[in-house]
Structure 1
Amino acid sequence: MVKCYDITPEFKHYACVVDLLGRVGKLDEAFGFTCRMHDHKNASVWLPLLAACRVHKNVELAEKVVARICEFDSENVAAYVLLSNMYSSVGRYKDAMNTKSMLFKKTNKKEPACSWIRIGNKVHGFVAGEECHPYYNVIINALDLLFGQMKKEEYVADTMVVFLCCFSAT
């Protein structure tokens, strides 16, 4: 990028490389790549690796990644949620519960999910629970059609990572 195109890599470029390495299962290579970055104190580079660890069920590396994230961002909710989901997916429910409990103690508010999509030249942003998008009703109708088709096709969701636990505020 630098030599041929005079483009200085940004975090998003590094995150893409980490994501690609993770998708093909080269988790150790992705970890080493991230550790060798000149400034690796950015969760946006580590979280794709953590997600890949969950997909490939590499709990040991996931714990290392969360430890790295906590060195510079101990309040990162996504890291704890991914780790907890990973523990659940491999049957380590006590660890999942402990992680969720620790997260609950750190913060009792999870940031709402947010997604973006580009259609043509316009970027649309969506935040979970908000109904203020000008095409909200059209989007809901499209989702209803998709869910209907999924039901018709007898789609079954993968719920292996779902772990529900209630915590009291005391």
Structure 2
Amino acid sequence: MQHKHGISPRMEHYSCMVTLLGRAGKLDDAYDIINQMPFEPDGCIWGSLLGSCRVHGNVVLAEPENASNYVLLSNIYAYKKMWDGVNRLRDMMKTVGLKKEKGCSWIEIKNKVHMLLAGDSSNPMMAAITEKQ
């Protein structure tokens, strides 16, 4: 990409590669890309890797860094019927006061970005955003 087209990879490009490799089950390759990035990985990158760890049942790479990752890791343990791990993670979350944030999405309408939180209908543009054509 950089050599052939002169485009420097951004975080979004790395995130796509991590997602693609993770979905293909190449979790070690995805982790290597994260470690070779020229900048610090963000929550999206780690979340993508953790989501792939859940799909492929890889408990070793699933290292939580935020509440969502604890929940995903807990789900991995549950899928593998590792109930001690599930209970340990949930206890850890309670101990350190972590709670999973509500899901959110962003949508751009007329060059303005609107954030939507799960279960929140207070956005003044909600009717326009959810309107079906």
* Greater shift in the superposed pair: 23-32 or 12-21: 23-32
Deviation at 1:123, TM superposition (A): 5.0
Mapped partners of 1:22, 1:77: distance in 2: 21
Mapped partners of 1:18, 1:33: distance in 2: 7
Partner of 2:16: 16
Partner of 1:165: none
* Greater shift in the superposed pair: 8-17 or 101-110: 101-110
Deviation at 1:40, TM superposition (A): 3.8
TM-score by length of 2: 0.80
Mapped partners of 1:79, 1:5: distance in 2: 35
Deviation at 1:117, TM superposition (A): 4.2
Q: Which letter does structure 1 place at the counterpart of 2:69?
A: A
Mapped partners of 2:76, 2:99: distance in 1: 21
Partner of 2:75: 85
Mapped partners of 2:86, 2:100: distance in 1: 17
Partner of 1:151: none
Q: Which structure has the larger Rg?
A: 1
1:105 aligns with 2:85: no
Q: For 1:51-109, what per-residue CA distance to the aligned partner results, in whole angstroms no more than 9, with x for missing partners? A: 001001112222xxx1xx64xxxxx1122111111111111122111101101221254
* Percent of aligned positions that are identical: 39
Mapped partners of 1:48, 1:7: distance in 2: 23
Partner of 2:115: 125
Q: Which letter does structure 1 place at the counterpart of 2:74?
A: S
Whether the 8 Å contact between 1:11 and 1:44 is mirrored in structure 2 is no
Mark the runs of 5 or more structure 2 residues left unpaired by the alignment. Answer: none
TM-score by length of 1: 0.64
RMSD: 2.7
Mapped partners of 2:113, 2:107: distance in 1: 6
Q: For 1:129-158, what per-residue CA distance to the aligned partner results, in whole angstroms no more than 9, with x for missing partners? A: 21123345994x98xxxxxxxxxxxxxxxx
Mapped partners of 1:138, 1:10: distance in 2: 29
SS in structure 1 opposite 2:21?
A: helix
Partner of 1:45: 45
Mark the runs of 5 or more structure 1 residues left unpaired by the alignment. Answer: 71-75, 143-170
Of the two structures, which has the highest relative contact order with CA contacts closer than 8 Å and spacing of 6 or more?
A: 1
4+ residue runs of structure 1 moved beyond 4 angstroms?
117-124, 136-139
